[in-house]
Amino acid sequence: QVQLIESGGGSVQAGGSLRLSCAPSGRTFSSYDTAWFRQAPGNERDFVAGIRWTGRMTDYADSVKGRFTISKDNSNNTVYLHMNSLKPEDTAVYYCAVGRSLGFLRDRRRYSDWGQGTQVTVSS
């Protein structure tokens, strides 16, 4: 089982920026894809951004394109989500997830291991 440690969440004003980190610990697999999902109270856990294990291919939800950037440090398999121009609608608990590269990055069902979640709050 892969342990994923999330960090970087917090509270910011609209227009601000945050960087989330997803760092593996314990037994890890460098060939796993990684994605970020978010969930607001009463909502489903929705796809935000994903990256293939090579770090070359990425995918983004339409709502964050041009504002968020996902990247991977292949030296330690840490994945980052740089969030710029944050909006109140971005407020949610953000979860990172990893899984074998066997499907679409945005398919929630394919991910086998999940982080604990980190709260992002954007005030207007």
What was the pLDDT predicted at 101?
Answer: 85
Task: Write out pLDDT tens, residues 50-84.
Answer: 999 999 999 999 999 999 999 999 888 999 999 99
Number of Cβ within a 10 Å radius of residue 114: 18
Are residues 24 and 4 in contact, defined by beta-carbon separation less than 8 angstroms? yes
Question: What pLDDT is recorded for position 11?
Answer: 98
Nearest Cα to Cα of residue 47 among 122, 112, 109, 1: 109
Q: Which residues contact 116 (CB under 8 A, 6 or more apart)?
A: 4, 5, 6, 95
Q: Find tokens 């920026």 and name the residue.
A: 17
Digits of tens for pLDDT over the chain (124 positions)? 789 999 999 999 999 999 999 999 876 677 899 999 999 999 999 999 999 999 999 999 999 999 999 999 988 899 999 999 999 999 999 999 999 988 999 999 999 999 999 999 999 9
Residues in the chain: 124
- For the beta carbon of residue 106, count every other beta carbon within 10 angstroms: 16
Element (H, E) at 121: strand 118-123
